[in-house]
Amino acid sequence: MGTASTDTHKPVGLCTLPTCAKVDGALILENLEHTASDSGACSPPPSEVPSSSAPESEAPGSAAPRSLAGAGWRLTGILKTVRPHQWVKNVFVLAPVVFAKEIFEPSLLKRAAGAFFVFCLLSGAVYTINDLADIKADRQHPLKRHRPIASGRVPRRVAQILAAVLLVVALSGAASGSRPFFIAACSYFVLNLAYSLKLKHIAYVDVGCIATFFVLRVLAGGFAAYISVSYYLLACTALLALFLGFGKRRHELTTSMGRGRRQRLALEGYSKRGLDVGLAVTASTTLLIYVAYTLDAHTREMFDNDWLWLSSVFVAAGILRFFHIVRHRPNAESPTQEMLSDGPFIATVLGWVGLVMWVVYKLSPG
């Protein structure tokens, strides 16, 4: 889920700028650590001024401190590039095992955990490739310009090697599983590659791709554990992903302030009204299908419990909270990222998980 041209000349990330200060009549050099909030308090040397015309292999502000601290700075930049906080999306890989009442079966849980790990590596590779493809656009964004690759904290060549290593390890792991799982993992990567290079620039197709990514995660989890995936689960996953995708685009359109094309080409094809309709339709349809699933005779028979419908309250609360984040968090980089640190949203998710585990597995304290 841009700024004026002068904004691209602010120092980004961690950079050391020489400035002069008088002490007892003598001039000394002191190191100042700058962040984006410095608002250009001192001017960087010309060699470190970000410029959209600078070669991508020599990102602006990429001069790293030549010390162990500089190496750590690079390493933390690499870690941020693969977005481990976003790997929570890969819990959808575990969904088939959870709703098949097999989460405590060691062999199935082991296979599902392996699938989760493979998709985390694939996600890291995909995020890196996406940032490589978006270098110029990210430098026009008020927040994304601070991403490690866009700011030069992670050099372009290092990012390319990182993506290749993650991809090789991930696909090697996928190949050790079932053939359908390997095909699902490869499909996930290939579609992500097409998304990064072309499809994300097409309005509504981009959000459709995001929904497909989530569906592939669920299918892959089923293939890895040899579990048949419910049509209800696939439908709810696709609709929820569309809802989150529309919310992300709605937030981007609101915060772009007329610079939508420079930040994301697909925004030119969206309108606030169209996205509001998309959000309303997908939110209501997701909730209706989820309620239908909880009341389905087969579901109630399988779980031997008639109370799963109560979890719909948490689903509705989560949807409403996401609406709130989209509308009232304009300074967030992404609403889908913001919700992962939003207290009420996290509490809602935990409430849903607790109730589902109680209904499905008849768990109780002690």
In a domain, 68, yes or no: no
Q: What is the DSSP letter of 305?
A: -
Kindly state whether residues 110 and 218 are assigned to the same domain. Answer: yes
pLDDT, residue 16, reads: 38
Type of residue at 212: T
Annotate 124-143 with b (16+ C-beta within 10 A) or e (fewer): bbbbbbbbbbbbebbbbbbe
- Parts of the chain with a pLDDT under 50: 1-64, 260, 365-366
Kindly state whether residues 195 and 258 are assigned to the same domain. no
Q: In which domain, by residue range, is 31 found?
A: 2-45
pTM of the model: 0.74
Enumerate helices (H) and strands (E) in the chain, giving the number of each.
Answer: 15, 2
Choosing from 229, 260, 284, the residue where a domain stops is 229
**What confidence tens digit (pLDDT) does each residue in 289-313 have?**
999 999 999 999 988 888 999 999 9
How far apart, in Å, are the Cα atoms of 242 and each of 114, 220, 273?
27, 19, 16
Helix (H, G, I), strand (E, B) or coil at 146: helix
pLDDT for residue 213: 95
Q: How many residues does the chain have?
A: 366
- For the CA atoms of 193, 199, 204, 208, the dihedral, rounded to the nearest 10 degrees, stands at -30
Same domain, residue pair 86 and 222: yes
Q: pLDDT tens, 65-107? A: 555 566 777 788 888 888 888 888 999 999 999 898 888 888 8
Beta bridge partners of 29: 20
Give the number of domains in the chain: 3
